[in-house]
Amino acid sequence: MIELNNVSKKYGGQQAIIDVTFTLPIGKIIGLVGENGSGKTTLLKLAAGLITPDSGTVQYDGRPITRRIATDIAYMPDADLFYPYFTVGQLFDFYESQFVDFDLIKAKEIAQFLDLNLNSKIKNLSKGNRGRVKIAATLGREATYYLLDEPFSGLDPMVREDIAKGLIRYTDTEKQTILLSTHEIKEVEPLLDEIVVLRGGKILAHQAVDEIREVHGMDATSWMISLFRKGS
């Protein structure tokens, strides 16, 4: 289990995360939503052990999360950080050399499912196909946690649908957890178990999607809009 307790983080004089307490249990798909600059990327990086908090603790099964012990956590950044001269297949070979939990057979199966050619050079791929490559490489790891930063950003509806199907098909929803930041809350709502809403570096709300529908009588998008209106 990943736990953030009273975590704060700032860059220069800008406070990105403010006194956040948050638990990521096993077996959930959780949407992380909020306005630009609300702290979504910072929270993901803290949970992945890529940055350290200024105060508070970030722990995995009771141990401080660092780059060294974050081997059970697969982080996918928003930006494309691949070597452009790699082919898709060469990228998978590289991932296999870097991550002990990388399953080359699984990654190739995901690539086939997402209609990717292993011999295609990454620099020649469209934005949509690069998005597919990122998902295939990330889900190729047998990680306990997948932390995905805007996996649907800038992609057309067909690509977003394919990626969403891949998330469901190639993860074990009983043993693995997906935390994904997104602006496409309406489209991914059917995937989600819970939603965390960030605003100004603070958690505005954290609720199960079923509870949103039953208690508030509205979909997740309408609920989120109502939260922002109340908080404005």
Q: What CA–CA distance (Å, rounded) separates 90 from 104?
A: 11
| DSSP-H helix ranges across the chain | 40-48, 88-98, 104-113, 127-139, 157-169, 185-188, 209-211, 220-231
Q: What is the pLDDT of residues 179-203, one digit of tens each?
A: 999 877 777 888 899 999 999 999 9
pLDDT of residue 79: 81
Q: Return the CATH number at 69.
A: 3.40.50.300
Domain region containing 168: 2-231
> What integer best gives the mean pLDDT of the chain?
90
Low-confidence winner among 60-64, 84-88, 167-171, 227-231 (lowest mean pLDDT): 227-231
- Amino acid in position 129: N
Summarised one tens digit per residue, pLDDT across range 107-147 is: 999 999 999 999 999 999 998 899 999 999 999 999 999 99
Q: Who contacts 181 (Cβ-Cβ below 8 Å, separation ≥6)?
A: 31, 32, 33, 34, 40, 41, 44, 148, 149, 150
pLDDT at 216: 82
Angstrom distance (rounded) from CA 230 to CA 225: 9
Cα separation, 68 vs 199, in Å, equals 30
pLDDT of residue 231: 59
Q: Which residues, in sequence order, are bridge partners of residue 96?
A: none
Q: Number of structural domains, the chain? A: 1
Tell me what percent of the chain is helix, strand and coil, each rounded to the nearest 5.
40, 30, 35
What is the DSSP track for 68-88? TTGGGEEEE-SS--S-TT-BH
Which of 166, 200, 204, 163 has the alpha carbon at shortest distance from 184? 163
- What tens digit of pLDDT does each residue of 139-177 get? 999 999 999 999 888 778 888 888 888 888 999 988 999
Q: What is the rounded distance in angstroms from the CA atom of residue 175 to the CA atom of residue 1?
A: 11
